[in-house]
A and B are shown apart, each in its own frame.
Chain A
C-alpha cells in the first residue's frame, strides 16, 4: 500500500516553523527512497495559502484541515482532527517537529492510535521490516538508542536542526485535499485563557543556527548585555548554563543542558561555561563549539573546536567588534 509519509506542518498565525520545512526536505528524500508519496498535513484556520509553500518543498499532496477550533493549538482539538485523518488515510509514517506543540501532540496521538512513538529523534533511516528505524539520544545525548516501531503509522518527533532545509522550487505543485475537522466534544475540555509570546528579535533557542551561551563566569545578570550584543551581530540566540540559571541571573527558558533545552546549532559559543557533564549533554551535538574561559583546565576545552583561554569580558566585546567589521 502506497500510503506514504506524512509531515505535520506546524504553523502559528500562518507562519510555518522551520523544523517543518526541514522535515519536508528530508521527507522528500525518504519518500523517494520508499517510492511512496509525501503528504504535508496542515491544521489551523485560514491556512489554505500555505499549501503552495509546502508544495515548493516537495510535498506530493497537502491535506488541509481548517476549523475555528484549530485556530490556536490545543491538545484535544489537534489530536482529534489528526487522529481522524490518520485513521482515514492510514499513512505509513508521521513525522512531527520536536517542539512544545509536537511534544504535547505526538504522545496523545500515538496513544489514541495505540502505536509507538520515537521522541526527539536525530536520525531516520528506511528499514525493511519496520518501515523506519529511528536514532534517538538518551541520557540527554550521553548515549543513543536505535528504535523501531512495530505497527503503523511509525510516528516520530524530530529534533529541530537535524536536517537541512532544501531550496524551494515554486514550479512544484501538489494535490490539495481539503478535509473537514471532526472534533470530539470530549476533546474540547481545555480552554486557552491567554497566550503570552515574549517579543524577541532573536531566533528561538532550539531552532537557532548559532547560540551564544553564558555560564557562571558571567558573574551577574547585568553582564548578559555583552553576550546579547554579540548575539545580535551574528544573528544568534542567547543561552545559559544551569549555574547561571540557578543563580537567578537569567530565566530558566534559556537553560541549555540535561535539565534544560537540548540544542544542536551549527555554532555554539560557550562563554564562562566550565563544561559540566549535564551541560555538555545538552549541546554536545553542536557542529562547531567555541569555548572562552579563563580557566585553562575547564572541561569545556576538551571538546571545543576552538578555544580561547582568557577573560570573556575582554574577548566577547572584541569578538563582537570583529564580526561588525566583517559585516
Chain B
C-alpha cells in the first residue's frame, strides 16, 4: 500500500504572534513544529504501514528550506521518504495554489491513501486537503476519528456537528485527521539516526512542469492586524454566596447577557 501524507510546518501553538514593521507576521525567533494535526495523519499512516506489509509512507510538503526540519522529524517517526516542493519564485501561496502544487507532486508518485491534518493551526483555513482531493479527482472524508481499510475500500468515521458519521469510499481517497484519531508517537534515537539517511527529494516548480506565473492564486491577503487586547475587568469579592449573587446580578443588569 502506498500512503502519502501531506505535511506543513507551522508555528508552535504556544507562540505569541507579532507583526513586523512592514505589517506581516513576524516569524523571527518563533519555534517551528509539524502542524499538530499532521502528526495524527503521520501516525495513522505509520499504523497502516505496520498493518500492511510492503507499504511505504511518503511525505509531501510545500514550503521554504526551513520545512526540512519538520520533514526530518516526520521521517524519524517512521515515514520512508519525502518530497519537498521548494522554489524561490514561489511567493504568495494561497490554498488554491498550495493544492495545485501538491496535486502535481503527488501525481508523480504512486498512492492508494492520502492523509492530511484537518486544519493547519497557522492560517486555520482547513482547505488544502479537500482541494487536493478535488484536484486529483478523488473522494475525501474530512475530520476523521477512525479509519479502517478493507481491500480497495475504506470506512471512516468523521465528526459532524452534534455527532458522527460513518462513510465508505473507494480507494484511492483523501482523509483529513482530527484529534482523537490516534496518539502520535515521539521519534526515538534510532528513528532520528535512520531519518538522516532517508531520501528527501527537493523539487522546483520546473520539476513539476509548471511555474509561478502559471499558478494563479484565488485570494490574497491585503493586511494583517492584531486583536485589540482585552483588559481585566471587575474582581468580585466577598463571601462565596455574596460573590455568586453579585455575579448573577452583574450579568443580568450590567452586561445584559442572561
Contact = CB atoms under 8 A, between A and B. Distances in A.
Contact of B139 (A190, A284, A288): A190
Contact of A252 (B126, B180, B230): B180
Contacts of B210: none
A205 B20 CA distance: 35
A118 interface: yes
B14 interface: yes
Contacts of A76: 139
A140 B124 contact: yes
B130 A143 contact: no
Interface string B236-254: 1100110111011011100
B162 A144 contact: no
A120 B134 CA distance: 20
A115 B94 CA distance: 11
Contact of B131 (A111, A267, A288): A111
Given A148-B219, A150-B217, A107 B126 contact: yes
B166 interface: yes
A225 interface: no
B243 A308 contact: yes
Contacts of A45: none
B211 interface: no
B217 A111 contact: no
A311 B126 CA distance: 39
Given A75-B140, A258-B13, A326-B248, A116 B96 contact: yes
Contact of B168 (A150, A190, A200): A190
A195 B95 contact: no
A319 B244 contact: yes
B159 A253 contact: yes
Given A146-B223, A192-B167, A112 B134 contact: yes
A182 B258 CA distance: 47
B190 interface: no
B191 interface: no
A104 B130 contact: yes
Interface string B207-251: 000000000111111111111011111111100110111011011
Contacts of A278: 13-14
Chain B binding surface SS class: mixed
Interface centre among B94, B166, B230 (most CB of A within 10 A): B230
Nearest to A10: B161
B169 interface: yes
Interface residues of B, number: 83
A138 B123 contact: yes
A115 B135 CA distance: 12
Interface in B1-60: 11, 13-17, 19, 25, 36-37
B43 to A, nearest CB: 15
Interface centre among A120, A191, A200 (most CB of B within 10 A): A191
Interface in A135-159: 136-151
Interface in B127-142: 127-128, 130-131, 133-135, 137, 139-142
A105 B63 CA distance: 26
A100 to B, nearest CB: 4
Contacts of A321: 244
Interface string A232-271: 0010000000000000000011010011100000110000
Contacts of B229: 303
A142 B258 contact: no
Interface centre among A303, A322, A323 (most CB of B within 10 A): A322
B159 A100 contact: yes
A298 to B, nearest CB: 11
Interface in B91-126: 94-96, 99, 121-126
A26 interface: no
B161 A100 contact: yes
B142 A104 contact: yes
A326 B257 contact: no
B41 to A, nearest CB: 14
List of 3 A-B pairs having minimum Cβ-Cβ separation, nearest first: A116-B218, A116-B219, A318-B244
Given A100-B143, A304-B232, A306-B234, 14 more contacts: A104-B130, A104-B143, A111-B135, A119-B124, A148-B222, A234-B258, A278-B14, A281-B13, A302-B232, A304-B233, A305-B234, A306-B236, A309-B235, A326-B252
Interface of B: 11, 13-17, 19, 25, 36-37, 94-96, 99, 121-128, 130-131, 133-135, 137, 139-143, 155, 158-170, 179-180, 216-227, 229-237, 240-241, 243-245, 247-248, 250-252, 255, 257-258
22 contacts: A100-B142, A101-B160, A107-B95, A110-B218, A111-B134, A139-B15, A141-B227, A147-B222, A150-B216, A189-B139, A189-B170, A191-B168, A194-B166, A259-B13, A267-B255, A277-B14, A277-B16, A290-B247, A307-B235, A309-B235, A318-B241, A318-B243
